Structure 1
Amino acid sequence: MSFGVEVQDLTVEYGRTVALERASLTLAPGAIHGLLGRNGSGKTTLLSVLAAFRRPSAGRVLVDGEDPWENPRVMAGTCLVRESGDVEVDTGMKDTLDYLERARPHFDRDLADRLMDTFELDPRRKPTKLSRGKRSAFGAVVGLATRAELTLFDEVYLGMDAPSRHAFYDALLEDYVEHPRTIVLSSHLIEEIERLLEHVVILDRGGVLLAEDADVLGARGARVTGPGPAVDAFVAGRRVLRREQLGPTVQATVDATLDDAARAEAHAAGLEVGPVDLQSLVVHLTAKEPAR
């Protein structure tokens, strides 16, 4: 009950604007993937192509081994959830859930009803009458209860307060453990979703900057702190993403995986070595130029 994804040299153009250019990536089935990047990096466009909302200008996209465009089987197993789940805003939420229960083969009405209670949503109301956060919460309900083989969440947290966002993350993880499927989370709140991710794709300016397992990425990058000359000597030859100085003390963020020998070398030079969190790494890697 999981769809894998293969994208090869995908290009998507909107008139003269190139949203994606020769992007290639693989999303393994049965995993939670993070789709990260700055505004305008192509995240929403990529998800729209995977969900067959938009046709590629060039390149190849396979979902569960098939082109998703006008493919009833693949489309039935794919669910793209934007802010309000792409539902009729003037239709009562109960009616929408009734329809999804009939139309979606794996839809779990009991789960939907429990989540409606969790997010304090009155099923008699219409999305158009809800706050932005409540509409987002309804989108989360739709995406989780549909249990599609490929579930795509595009910034679904928009407008939610912190307790609601964390309730969504907890519900997602709990249901994923019991009912594994392929889930893609696109989000700017990287610190909040980092614990959920098994694989990470970072888009930058319409291309794939990197795609790695989360545990590998977690070991990538280091912050080296100490006297300026010693820090500069240690990072020489390594890619420096950011260098900050306060008096004689310098902290350099490097794009490197430091092995035991490198860490021992740093400690011998009187330097402190610390990790770089995923959000900071994404910020530094996608900066137009290294920050100083």
Structure 2
Amino acid sequence: MSPVIEITDLSRRYGSSRALDGVDLSVDEGVICGLLGRNGAGKTTLMACVAGQERPSGGAVRVFGREPADHADVLSRVSFVRDSQRYPDGFRLKHVLSVAPAFHRGWDATLARDLAADLRVPEKTDLKKMSRGQLSAASIVIGMASRAPLTIFDEPYLGLDATARQLFYDRLLADYSAHPRTILLSTHLIDEMEALLERVVVLDEGRVRLDSDVDQARASAYQVAGTASAVDRFAAGRRLLSQHAVGGLKTAVVDGVADHSTRTDAAAAGVELSGVSLQQVVAALGSRDTELEGVAS
């Protein structure tokens, strides 16, 4: 597969604040990639740079082989659905659906109507007067019906109830299977969306902390639990991503693969060893304690 997104040493500053710092990233064609991390990690800024809505302060961004901000033919192949989407005064859903085909060559009007009905987007309410969930639903309709070769969703589920979120996940996966394209999306609902993702990129303070497929990400760490003394004994010489103690008991997320030797050491130390979820890996990587703990001693 050829890369749709190529990012090299990307930085983005706002005055003295650095939102992105030396980001290197490549996303291949036909992949659903999750962009994960804490609030303020730089996810929205990175997506805006990819969509040509922000210019880098340093480094380079190429989409379909060209700088997105300077090439209309590139931008016509990108749909960026962000959580702060703005619309003209008086615009309703019907107005958006009527102008969208002019911006997206692959626009599917039937899919747009069906999704709007399933997600219960009100037809007679101005977009500026919609609730947070209704606006999210309208944005999902636009992003999916665009069928853009590169579709970017910035936390598209905000305000949606559980039923609407599940409908979005199911319809996105079904439409992606029928019409493959590259999808980049940010989310905090990692457990809910994990089944959609093929690859994950974790940002923290503007830097890439993890870039791998989902299975590798889950296998990159493991959890141990037991008495505090037993966990400390096992952790000696190992790098802890996070740890939590309650009374005399302790759990820790450990960086690395739980191989045969690790399991033997765990049994000898009297601790219970288990796998971790993608959510646990991301939370551990975003923990301030990660940088402080280093290698346990």
Aligned sequence identity (%): 42
Contact 2:9/2:59 (<8 A) preserved: yes
Contact 2:149/2:181 (<8 A) preserved: yes
Q: What residue is the counterpart of 2:147 in the other structure?
A: 147
Q: What residue is the counterpart of 1:36 in the other structure?
A: 36
Structure 2, unpaired ranges of 5+: none
Between 1:231-240 and 1:82-91, the stretch displaced more is 82-91
Partners of 1:103 and 1:228 lie apart in 2 by 59
Between 1:117-126 and 1:164-173, the stretch displaced more is 117-126
Contact 1:50/1:61 (<8 A) preserved: yes
Q: What residue is the counterpart of 1:90 in the other structure?
A: 90
Contact 1:86/1:139 (<8 A) preserved: no
Q: Secondary structure at the match of 2:229?
A: helix
Q: What residue is the counterpart of 2:81 in the other structure?
A: 81
Provide, for residues 168-194 of structure 1, a one-character-per-residue CA deviation record: whole Å limited to 9, x for no partner: 111111111111111011111112111
Q: What is the deviation of 1:41?
A: 1.1
Q: What residue is the counterpart of 1:112 in the other structure?
A: 112
Name the CA shift for 1:38/1:71 in 2 (closer, same or farther; >3 Å).
same
Q: Secondary structure at the match of 1:114?
A: helix
Contact 1:3/1:150 (<8 A) preserved: no
Structure 1, unpaired ranges of 5+: none
Q: What residue is the counterpart of 1:132 in the other structure?
A: 132
Q: What residue is the counterpart of 1:65 in the other structure?
A: 65
Provide, for residues 197-255 of structure 1, a one-character-per-residue CA deviation record: whole Å limited to 9, x for no partner: 11111111111112111110011211112243332222221111233334543322212
Q: Secondary structure at the match of 1:122?
A: coil
Q: Secondary structure at the match of 2:202?
A: strand
TM alignment of 1:142-221, pairs within 5 A: 142-221=142-221
| Number of matched pairs | 292
Contact 2:226/2:251 (<8 A) preserved: yes
Name the CA shift for 1:167/1:228 in 2 (closer, same or farther; >3 Å).
same
Name the CA shift for 1:268/1:108 in 2 (closer, same or farther; >3 Å).
same
Partners of 2:224 and 2:27 lie apart in 1 by 33
Q: What is the deviation of 1:69?
A: 1.4
Name the CA shift for 1:58/1:254 in 2 (closer, same or farther; >3 Å).
same
Contact 1:223/1:252 (<8 A) preserved: yes
Per the normalisation by structure 1, the TM-score is 0.93
Q: What residue is the counterpart of 1:250 in the other structure?
A: 250
Q: What residue is the counterpart of 1:226 in the other structure?
A: 226
Q: What is the deviation of 1:263?
A: 1.8
Q: What is the deviation of 1:89?
A: 5.3
Q: Does 1:56 align with 2:62?
A: no
Partners of 1:218 and 1:15 lie apart in 2 by 37
